[in-house]
Chain A
C-alpha cells in the first residue's frame, strides 16, 4: 500500500482540476477499467462509478462503490444517485468526513479511495479514515 502523497506523485496527479481523461488513465493503470465515469444525472450503469456533480460541465468528483458513497467534502449524495444506490443495495452509506479543505484534489481522493478498497482490499470505512488521518495527522 502506498500513501496518498506517493499515489499522487506516482500517477502525476496535480493540485488542480482533474479531467475525466486523466481519471480514465489512472483507472486503467490500477486495473479498474470497469469503473464508470458519469455526469451528475447519469444514467448510472455500473456497481462502481466516479461521478461529476455538474450536469454537463466539470465541477467536483465524487465516488460510489456499491452501497458506499464518498464525497471529499463529506456531503450527502445527490438525490438521483442516492436513489440509484438505495434501489440496488437497499441502503446508502456515506462519509461525513471533510477531507478536502484548501485544495483541488477531489479527483485524486476518489481514485485513492478506489485504490485502497478495490486494489488493496481495505473496508470502505477504514479507507476513508485512513485517508482522513493521512491528511490531518
Chain B
C-alpha cells in the first residue's frame, strides 16, 4: 500500500493513495489483507480523498442511526 504524507493542524498524517483494483477471478482460496481502502474504490478519487481528509481531521466516536 502506498501512503502519502500530509499535515493537518500541524500534525503529520499518512493517508493511503487510492488505486483502482482490477477484477480477476471470483474464486479466492485465501484472503490476505494489510489495509487499503477498497470501500472507497468505486467512487471518484478526489472526492474520496477530501472525505477521507475530513474524516482524519476529526477524532472521536460517532453514531449512525
A residues engaging B (CB < 8 A)?
A: 16-21, 39-40, 52-61, 72-78, 82, 85-86, 90-98, 100-107, 125, 128
> Which range contains the number of B residues in contact with the other chain?
20 to 34
In the complex, besides A17-B33, A75-B37, A95-B61, 16 extra interface pairs with C-beta distance below 8 angstroms are A18-B33, A59-B36, A60-B34, A60-B35, A60-B36, A72-B35, A74-B56, A76-B62, A77-B64, A92-B65, A96-B55, A97-B60, A101-B3, A103-B35, A104-B34, A106-B34
Q: Which residues of A contact B14 (CB under 8 A)?
A: 101-102
Contact B35 A104 (CB under 8 A): yes
For A20, what are the chain B residues with a Cβ–Cβ distance below 8 Å?
30-31
Closest to A81 in B: B39
CB distance from A100 to the nearest CB of B (A): 5
Chain B residues within CB distance 8 Å of chain A: 1, 3, 13-14, 16, 21, 24, 26, 28, 30-40, 52, 55-56, 58-65
C-alpha spacing A53/B40, complex, angstroms? 10
B residues within 8 A CB of A82?
A: 64
